[in-house]
């Protein structure tokens, strides 16, 4: 599933102006290219916190008529809306999204294309089954009203709404929500869902709890999804939202084997902007081809109650030092995140159109600028709380790599971008950074490695991160340097 996550450092290969900023109008071209040029099977159209071309189906069918006549939306390839969560963001976009889905069905049928072209949506920050059913009921009422208003037969009044779990607690406790949803669905629609397609978030759990809790909680959720399907005879097709850097998921064209090994049972992987635009195009195509071929074949891992309890303990152990540190350095991150170049037409977070992330009373930027800032400083967020957490975990006897197979690989990869001199200066001059320095020291000792630069590109990144710290201290712009460093690490954030 190609997505609109704005984590690319380079300009898209298809972009004519080459500025790297993908406007709302350009997203139509981007979507069609993901299907035709990259052989992605699905594209996410994101209505959460950003401006959207509501006439997406009309424009695609008009602009690329021959392509979509041959490759039918909803049959051969798929477009899936990510809705705004109306319990966190005002519902203006929700009404427009639902009407877009309904009118797309009419338009496709009039063109004698497959109908409906859109039949699934994703609900971010899902925490209650009642919210899914509530939105499904709204869609049914709206569809029935539209048909009555325009005096047409109602062929399409049900939509699949898939939960996106975005906190470690919701991921680990997902089974309760699924059971409740099944009961409500049977009560409302007098049948079970034909299949279920839950989504696992990776960026926000990492943003709120650190890399280790984000990974292990996602693994438990994956197990719980399949156990739910097995117990209720429902087919399960889980999806996961992963970026290229370890902190946001570790799925890049260079690490397909590691990803498949980490997440067996995943049937859909998000292919975000950095994956598509920050690697050689031929490598991107080969990687997507492998994912399309191999993801359907992997066998999920089932964890028992004892193991779920262990993972809950792991999350608690690693979350505590992470949050303590983030709370202390949040003001610096927020200050620098304003200089991360925009890649999409985001709405302002002013209470009506969006919602910020946060830990306690501290607000944080979204995961991509958060990650971009720390990597650009030479302080990869993978380290935050991880050393102290690992030292504490050793006392419990729990083996982390039982639940996080690529732990050492991910930390070593992040370590290439560590600027120890920057970290030492920050630890000496600013509050909160001392804990990260301790994390690095502990990880080097426990893993018996030395983090640092080895290749020419590693040293180039190191030099830019040193410059960024100096510019920050001089109160000068760092936007260009953030882009330059992002191109080296092959992701903005």
- Read off the pLDDT band of 52 (50, 70, 90): confident
Domain that holds residue 450: 320-489
Q: Which of 297, 328, 350 is the last residue of a domain?
A: 297
State whether 155 and 234 are in the same domain: yes
**In the chain, % of residues over pLDDT 70:** 97
> How wide is the angle at C-alpha 285 spanned by C-alphas 281 and 291, nearest 5°?
140
Q: Would you state the pLDDT for residue 355?
A: 47
Cα separation of 256 and 289, whole Å?
A: 11
Q: Considering the chain, what is the average pLDDT of its residues?
A: 94
pLDDT tens track for 300-329: 999 999 999 999 999 999 999 999 999 999
**CA–CA separation, 261 and 282 (whole Å):** 23
- E runs forming strands in 105-233: 120-123, 160-165, 195-196, 199-201
3-state secondary structure at position 317: helix
47 lies in the same domain as 132:
yes
Query: 71 by DSSP, 3-state: which?
Result: coil
Residue 90 maps to which CATH number? Answer: 3.20.20.60
Lowest mean pLDDT, pick from 145-149, 212-216, 341-345: 341-345
232 assigned to some structural domain = yes
Q: Residue 463 falls within a domain, yes or no? A: yes
pLDDT at residue 289 is higher than 50 = yes
Q: Per the domain annotation, does 391 fall within a domain?
A: yes
Both 205 and 288 in one domain: the answer is yes
* Same domain, residue pair 207 and 67: yes
Q: Which of 4-8, 30-34, 40-44, 350-354 has the lowest mean pLDDT?
A: 350-354
The reply to whether 334 and 195 lie within a common domain is no
Q: How many CB atoms lie within 10 A of CB 54?
A: 17
Could you tell me if residue 448 is inside a domain?
A: yes
Give pLDDT, residue 92: 78
Q: Answer whether residue 349 shows pLDDT above 50.
A: no
Q: pLDDT class for 346, splitting at 50, 70, 90?
A: low
Give the Cα separation of 26 and 32 in Å (integer): 10
* pLDDT beyond 70 at 223: yes
One-character DSSP codes across 105-136: HHHHHHTT--S-S--EEEETT---HHHHHHHH
Same domain, 324 and 203: no
Q: 202 and 218 in contact (C-beta within 8 Å)? A: yes
Q: Do 324 and 284 fall within a single domain?
A: no
Instruction: Kindly state whether residues 335 and 285 are assigned to the same domain.
Output: no
Q: Are 368 and 242 part of one and the same domain? A: no
pLDDT of 350 reads 37
More confident residue, 412 or 47: 412
6 within some domain:
no
Q: Is residue 305 domain-resident?
A: no
What total of structural domains would you count in the chain?
2
Distance CA 221, CA 171 (A): 5
Q: Taking the model in full, what pTM does it have?
A: 0.95
Do 257 and 250 contact (CB within 8 A), yes or no? no
Looking at the structure, tell me whether residues 258 and 393 fall in a common domain: no
């Amino acid at each position: 599933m190609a997505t609109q996550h704005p984590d690319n450092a380079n300009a898209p290969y298809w972009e004519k102006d080459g500025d790297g900023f993908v406007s709302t109008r350009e997203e139509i071209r981007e979507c069609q290219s993901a299907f035709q040029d990259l052989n992605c099977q699905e594209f996410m159209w994101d209505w959460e916190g950003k401006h959207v071309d509501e006439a997406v189906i009309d424009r695609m069918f008009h602009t690329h008529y021959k392509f979509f006549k041959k490759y039918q939306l909803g049959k051969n390839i798929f477009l899936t809306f990510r809705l705004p969560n109306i319990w966190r963001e005002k519902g203006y976009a929700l009404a427009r999204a639902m009407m877009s889905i309904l009118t797309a069905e009419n338009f496709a049928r009039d063109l004698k294309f497959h109908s409906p072209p859109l039949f699934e949506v994703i609900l971010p920050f899902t925490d209650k089954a009642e919210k899914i059913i509530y939105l499904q009921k709204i869609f049914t009422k709206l569809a029935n009203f539209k048909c009555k208003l325009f005096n047409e037969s109602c062929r399409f009044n049900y939509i699949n709404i898939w939960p996106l779990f975005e906190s470690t607690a919701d991921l680990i406790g997902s089974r309760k929500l699924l059971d409740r949803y099944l009961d409500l669905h049977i009560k409302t629609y007098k049948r079970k869902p034909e299949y279920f397609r839950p989504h696992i978030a990776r960026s926000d759990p990492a943003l709120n709890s650190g890399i280790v809790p984000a990974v292990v909680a996602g693994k438990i959720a994956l197990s719980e999804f399949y156990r739910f399907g097995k117990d209720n005879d429902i087919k399960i097709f889980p999806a996961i939202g992963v970026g290229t850097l370890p902190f946001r998921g570790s799925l890049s064209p260079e690490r397909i084997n590691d990803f498949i090994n980490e997440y067996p049972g995943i049937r859909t992987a998000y292919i975000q902007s950095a994956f598509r635009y920050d690697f050689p195009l031929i490598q991107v195509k080969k990687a997507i081809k492998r994912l399309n071929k191999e993801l359907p074949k992997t066998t999920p891992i089932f964890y028992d109650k004892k193991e779920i309890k262990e993972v809950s303990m792991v999350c608690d152990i690693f979350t505590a030092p992470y949050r303590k540190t983030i709370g202390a350095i949040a003001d610096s991150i927020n200050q620098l995140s304003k200089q991360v170049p925009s890649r999409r037409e985001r709405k302002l977070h002013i209470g009506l159109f969006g919602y910020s992330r946060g830990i306690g009373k501290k607000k944080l930027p979204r995961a991509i600028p958060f990650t971009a800032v720390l990597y650009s400083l030479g302080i990869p967020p993978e380290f935050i709380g991880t050393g102290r957490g690992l030292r504490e975990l050793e006392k419990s006897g729990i083996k982390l790599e039982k639940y996080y197979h690529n732990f050492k690989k991910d930390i070593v990869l992040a370590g290439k971008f560590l600027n120890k001199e920057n970290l030492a200066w920050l630890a000496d001059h600013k509050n909160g950074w001392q804990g990260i320095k301790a994390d690095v020291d502990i990880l080097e000792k426990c893993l018996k490695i030395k983090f640092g630069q080895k290749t020419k590109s590693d040293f180039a990144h190191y030099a830019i991160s040193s410059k960024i710290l100096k510019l920050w201290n001089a109160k000068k712009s760092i936007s260009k340097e953030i882009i330059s460093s992002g191109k080296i690490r092959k992701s903005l954030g």
